[in-house]
Amino acid sequence: MHGLPQAEPTNATIRPGAAARRSPGWRISRRVRIGLASLIGTFALWWLLTDITGVIGPHRFPAPAEFWAAFVQIAIDGYAGGTLITQAWYSTRLVIMGFLVAIATGVPLGLLMGVSHRAEALLNPAFLLVRPIPPLAWIPLAIVWLGLGDAAKILVIWFAAFVPSVINTWTGVRGVDRTLIAAARVHGAGELRLLWEVIIPGSLPMMFTGLRLSLQASWTTLVAAELVGAFFGLGRVLDAAYRDINPPMIAVAMLAVGVLGALTTRLVAVAERRLIPWRS
Amino acid sequence: MAFMTIADRAPHPRELMLLSVAGAVLFFGGWQLLAMSGAVSPQTLPSPIAVIGTAWQLAFEPFAGHTLLQHIVASLGRFAMGFGLAAAIGVPLGLAMGRFRLLDDIVSPIFEALRFIAPLAWVPFAALWFGTGIGGPVMVIFAGAFPPCLINAYRGAKLVEVRLVEAAQTLGAGGFRIMAEVLLPGALPSIVAGLRVSAGLAWQSLVGAELIVASAGIGYVMVQAQSNLAPAIVMAGMLSVGVIGLAIDVALRRAERLVKSRWGQA
């Protein structure tokens, strides 16, 4: 039935967006069509450059078939000590643990420094020293202290996620509307109620910005830490594939890192929408 | 809970100053005492004085092939190359994507698909393609620095009023001139903000890349010290990484303020 001219109200033909919104679901927008074409084109180019013409040799970047074979290999037989699911879960578990420890320490510290000028003044010197050191730079120290196991990874992720959660919580508290605080005070709210019902909800949006940044930093740092030295995990897979000069496996591990990073970021976004429904 | 004073006026500045000094003394004094007490061996936690002494010593005595200053110069060179490359490609591409919808629709899905791959995950391919000397680390830095350059140039270009672009078109400006003379100045504040974020990420990625594959640079110093179990050298490395990162950030912050006061609308 598409292609048939339909009797549309005149205003719909004036505004093309309205017509598109009214169209049935299977008629996809221009943006999606071009996007799909672009992805398919990239895929075709990849195939053309590797399999068909061989411009990019197999020792540089894998052909689609090799990529698929590597994916099947790690998914079923495993690679570098575990299947894809085991390795991915291993890394995800570490990110979640480090991230939770960082939230549990960073958010209260940020609240304290935001609420009290005295606490801020007391803690700021130590914080200023730690803040400019990139999380990745903690990796060697963590290995000297705790070795190559889980504890060192969690410590490094904690460092990575701690600083953004402190800073954003702190900024969020300072950004709470002063009038709201004064109003709550006038109506007789005690300090604890003020904190729980005005300051924390008011700083939640900034806190979540911090959490999203923390999560990204956690993934980057974990991958780096596992590349420097680890027994399991996706970074370990990357490292092993690099040492074996196995480009298909490198590509599979990179894809897994990207997918997991995107999924966990989405998870934080969902939590954000649940917890802060008033911020659209 | 008398310490909660958020809505009230801040305490007297002199009191806050004293508290800051007390905080610093507590932190460094506690660390120094802990290291001197022998409860923690210097093989685990060197004292702050030992760390600074080590940094000073490394500035003149070669470690891992070069003095600390030479390593820093090697790192800064890679940083400048990776960051420069990311800005030189990311900013024009972002502006063009903001201007031409077709380009935007083509590039966006590819960019979105690649964006979630942590920059450090590029290390194996970077080393395979460009070696572990200069090319590999530069590519990793590029992977870290590229997204903010592109995104901010794109957003900046989208913020430029359509009227201005149309006016330039009416007056006969070509595509390139519109980009260079309308979009670029209009998007400049956003671009500079993006460059600052991007420089921070570039510096981090550099350290990461050097930890994994390199034969010189600060990250290499730190990973060598780690395998020698020399935490004082590791911490001296962290100190220099922090100080240089801070210096880069301060410089770009200043540039940002300058640009905002000259070209910024808000």
User: Residue A252 falls within a domain, yes or no?
Assistant: yes
Work out the pLDDT band at A184, boundaries 50, 70, 90: confident
Is A195 within the bounds of a domain? Answer: yes
- Structural domains of chain A, count: 2
* H or E element that contains B29: helix B13-37
Least confident of A40-49, A51-60, B249-258: A51-60
- Tell which residue, A270, A238, A273, has the closest CA to residue A257: A238
Q: With an 8 Å Cβ cutoff, is B16 touching chain A?
A: yes
Q: Which domain holds residue B109?
A: 65-154+187-263
Are residues A229 and A120 both part of a single domain? yes
B91 CA: distance to closest CA in chain A (Å) = 21
A-B contacts at Cβ under 8 angstroms: 189
- Locate B133 and state its tokens: 């000397």
pLDDT score for A10 = 40
Whether the CB-CB separation of B63 and B221 falls below 8 Å is answered with: yes
Are A87 and A238 in contact by the 8 Å Cβ rule? The answer is: no
Residue A6's φ and ψ, nearest 5 degrees, are: -110, 155
Distance from CA of B68 to the nearest CA of A (A): 16
Residue B12 lies in a domain: no
Q: Token digits for B204?
A: 């981090």
Asked whether B150 and B90 are in contact (CB, 8 A), the reply is yes
For residue A169, what are the contacts with CB-CB under 8 A and spacing of at least 6? Answer: A106, A107, A109, A110, A111, A114, A203, A206, A207, A210
Same domain as A98, residue A129: yes
What are A107-118's pLDDT values in tens digits? 999 999 988 888
C-alpha distance from A178 to closest chain B C-alpha (Å): 6
Domain match, A2 and A38 both: yes
Task: Pull the structure tokens for residue B200.
Answer: 């921070």
What is the per-residue pLDDT for A15? 44
Q: Is residue A249 part of a domain?
A: yes
A25 compared with A229, residue with greater pLDDT: A229
- pLDDT (average), residues A33-45: 89
Q: Are residues A214 and A88 in the same domain?
A: yes
Q: Measured between CB atoms, does B33 come within 8 Å of chain A?
A: no
Q: Does the structure show a pLDDT above 50 at A20?
A: no
Report the C-alpha gap between A219 and A214 in whole angstroms.
9
- B86 or A127: which leads in pLDDT: B86
Is residue A11 scored above 50 in pLDDT?
A: no
B24 → chain A, closest CA residue: A125
Average pLDDT of each block of 10 consecutive residues along chain B (266 residues)? 50 86 91 86 87 90 88 93 96 92 90 86 91 89 94 91 87 83 87 92 92 86 90 92 92 88 65
Range A170-192 average pLDDT: 85
Same domain, A83 and A202: yes
Residue B38 lies in a domain: no
Considering only the beta carbons, identify the residue of B27, B204, B211 that sits closest to A228: B211
User: Cα(A219)–Cα(A70) distance, rounded to whole angstroms?
Assistant: 23
Shared domain check, A183 and A135: yes
Q: Is residue B56 part of a domain?
A: no
Do A139 and A47 lie in a common domain?
no
Dihedrals φ, ψ of B134, to 5°? Answer: -110, -45
On whether residue A62 sits in a domain, the answer given is no
| Separation of alpha carbons B53 and B244, rounded Å | 18
Q: How many residues does chain A have?
A: 280
Q: Is there a contact between A230 and A153 (Cβ–Cβ < 8 Å)?
A: yes
Assess if residue A67 is contained within a domain: no
Q: What is the pLDDT of residue B149?
A: 94
Q: Are residues A194 and A254 in the same domain?
A: yes
- Which secondary-structure segment (H or E) carries B105? helix B101-115
Say if residues B44 and B190 touch (Cβ distance below 8 Å): no
Enumerate residues 223 to 252 of chain B having a beta carbon within 8 A of any beta carbon in chain A.
223, 225-226, 229, 231, 234-235, 237-238, 241-243, 245-246, 249
Q: Supply the angle between the helices A234-243 and A84-115 in degrees, to the nearest 10.
A: 130
SS3 B63: strand
Number of domains in chain B: 1
Which chain B residue's Cα is nearest to A133? B242
Report if residue A99 sits inside a domain.
yes
State whether A253 and A141 are in the same domain. Answer: yes
**CA–CA gap between residue A63 and residue A49 (Å, rounded):** 8
pLDDT band at A3 (very low <50, low <70, confident <90, very high): very low
On whether residue B49 sits in a domain, the answer given is no
Q: Name the helix (H) or strand (E) containing B145.
A: helix B135-159
| Domain membership flag for residue B120 | yes
Residue B3 domain-assigned? no
Q: Do A224 and B120 touch (CB under 8 A)?
A: yes
Q: How far is it, in rounded angstroms, from Cα B198 to Cα B152? A: 10
Q: In terms of domains, do A85 and A191 share one?
A: yes
From A238, A235, A239, select the one nearest A156 (Cα to Cα). Answer: A235
Distance CA A216, CA A160 (A): 9
Instruction: Please report, for the domain that includes residue B246, its CATH number.
Output: 1.10.3720.10
Neighbour-count burial of B75, counting CB atoms closer than 10 A to its CB (0-12 exposed, 13-18 middle, 19+ buried)? buried
Residue A70 lies in a domain: no
Has residue B221 been placed in a domain? yes
Record the pTM. Answer: 0.83
What is the total residue count of chain B? 266
Q: A65 lies in a domain?
A: no
CATH code, domain with A226: 1.10.3720.10
Q: Is residue B88 part of a domain?
A: yes
Q: What is the CB neighbour count within 10 angstroms for residue B9?
A: 7
Residue A21 in this model has a pLDDT that exceeds 80: no
| Three-state secondary-structure class, residue A78 | coil
Residues B94/B150, Cβ–Cβ less than 8 Å? yes
Other C-beta atoms within 10 Å of A61: how many?
19
Q: Do residues A45 and A83 both lie within one domain? A: no
Q: Do B128 and A250 touch (CB under 8 A)?
A: yes
Domain hosting residue A13, numbered range: 1-56
